[in-house]
Structure 1
Amino acid sequence: MSTVASSTAYDAHFRVWRGDTGGGGLQDFTVEVNEGEVVLDIVHRLQATQAPDLAVRWNCKAGKCGSCSAEINGRPRLLCMTRMSVFSREETITVTPLRAFPVVRDLVTDVGFNYTKAREVPAFVPPPGVGPGEYRMMQEDVDRSQEFRKCIECFLCQDTCHVVRDHEENKTAFAGPRFLMRVAELDMHPLDAAADTGLDRKATAQEEHGLGYCNITKCCTEVCPEGIHITDNALIPLKERAVDRKYDPLVWLGNKIRRRGE
């Protein structure tokens, strides 16, 4: 008796945003989906069969370069890490560019805002008198900052943060969760000697990078593909240290006494 293997392929309904800086809209496609594929595979199939001029940014296809950030059904995601199996076969899948940043073309956005903010964060300041290879840290401190170094610069947290996403006017004063996390990492680094140079990272977080705009809704944490606890482990502790520095009466008194002794 002969048997015929059943096919797992099916046709899915996609809606993909097409356009450029002058405007655009959603375009409907019916495209084949095979077992084990991710959304980026489908976008590539669309390029190969129906929309050769469809623009999309990608590189590693392994969830480590952060290039293929987009919004799928309104949620910021990596195209290469979103499996088609999470959607029903009858579901219409809508793919749009990151809403928080200007569109270049189709699914490609101009994320230059993030690089501008990155340059505004002062770098790690090496401790004086300690050469390369001589740094020593407690393992607990290494583990704490190592979590933040898992960031792949996908900017999904920046895109989903409503302070950036819904209020264009905030961008000049607000660095966003990715770069406030960077400030927090440096501020808690036991070897960072920024204070010796007169740089108060807690003060700059509040006054220059807009820490006060963050209302800790945890939306940045929810979309992080690396599972970094941005809010709980970086932003909330940074807020607490900034508040202690600015409003704690004992700190205020200590500063007064210190100034008198100088």
Structure 2
Amino acid sequence: MTERRELRIWRGEGGEGAFASYLVEAEDGEVVLDLVHRLQATQAPDLAVRWNCKAGKCGSCSAEVNGRPRLLCMTRLSALPPDQPVVLTPLRAFPSVRDLVTDVGFNYAKAREVPAFVPPPGLAPGEYRMQQEDVARSQEFRKCIECFLCQDTCHAVRDHEENLAAFAGPRFLMRVAELDLHPLDAAAETGLDRARSAQEVHGLGYCNITKCCTEVCPEHIRITDNALIPLKERAADRKYDPLVWLGAKIGLRSGKTTP
């Protein structure tokens, strides 16, 4: 069945602009990105929007639909109120470039600040061996498609520009947690305590575990429960637990603890 849906889209450049309304034909089973493509083909060829795979795996078409961070290609029209306009705006946490496109360079800068995996000494690539349980613990985090919806919805990034220099955001704190959980990561042997670094360098303390990042993740990664909260616990242990501190001092324990 064909119907006409109203799209209200933010149009503008560099943060300056206004909403424009369009009536677009819609078919059963379509997603918001289908309407955006039809709009570009019929009425607004100059509309700027990022997209690539249209399969929910590249993270390119991130935007806000009716005020909620979503992937345009995974948001079905049937899930939105049929008697109301579909309101599309760019990700609010990042600088506007044009229309629905934002500058997400902040995220790539934060990615470079996270030290990479440190290979274990004495083992060559291909010789690494891990228990399946350990693989499973970090495999969840590897599902991240870097859509940056979690970064956009995190109020510490979204509402407090003054935090940006000191706070990496949930996506990259999750990366720190993944490496800290990795049984073969030898960062501690180089003097790098990843949990302490999360607190002192990447701003873990700015996170107050509201779980908003988990709620918008299209891959259903339990960012808060499985990454941020355990990372907070390990950071607190290493900083305040006297037994952990003493063990590290006398060399009985490495910087890692079991979460």
Interval containing the TM-score (normalised by the shorter chain)? over 0.9
Segments of structure 1 that go 5 or more residues without pairing to the other structure are 1-7
Please state if 1:152 is matched with 2:145: yes
Shift of 1:129: 0.6
Identity %: 79
For 2:124, what is the secondary structure of its paired residue?
coil
CA distance in 2, matches of 1:56, 1:231: 30
For 1:191, what is the secondary structure of its paired residue?
coil
> 1:215-230 residue pairs with structure 2 within 5 A?
215-230=208-223
Amino acid at match of 2:183: P
Identify which of 81, 99, 102 aligns with 1:106: 99
Identify which of 217, 228, 238 aligns with 1:245: 238
For 1:183, what is the secondary structure of its paired residue?
helix
Q: Structure 1 residues 210, 192: CA separation in 2 closer, same or farther (over 3 Å shift)? A: same
CA distance in 1, matches of 2:82, 2:247: 65
Shift of 1:256: 4.5
Contact 1:39 1:79 in 2 (8 A): yes
Larger Rg: 1
Shift of 1:195: 0.6
CA distance in 1, matches of 2:61, 2:81: 22
CA distance in 1, matches of 2:14, 2:204: 31
Shift of 1:209: 0.2
Shift of 1:257: 4.3
For 1:130, what is the secondary structure of its paired residue?
coil
Contact 1:16 1:96 in 2 (8 A): yes
Identify which of 116, 128, 149 aligns with 1:123: 116
Specify the alignment match of 1:162 in structure 2: 155
For 2:119, what is the secondary structure of its paired residue?
coil
CA distance in 2, matches of 1:258, 1:189: 21
Specify the alignment match of 1:51 in structure 2: 44
Amino acid at match of 1:121: V
Specify the alignment match of 2:30 in structure 1: 37
Segments of structure 2 that go 5 or more residues without pairing to the other structure are 253-259
Contact 2:15 2:95 in 1 (8 A): no
CA distance in 1, matches of 2:27, 2:57: 23
Contact 1:10 1:89 in 2 (8 A): no
For 1:19, what is the secondary structure of its paired residue?
strand
Specify the alignment match of 2:204 in structure 1: 211
Amino acid at match of 1:55: A
Aligned Cα root-mean-square deviation (Å): 1.1
How many residues align? The count is 252
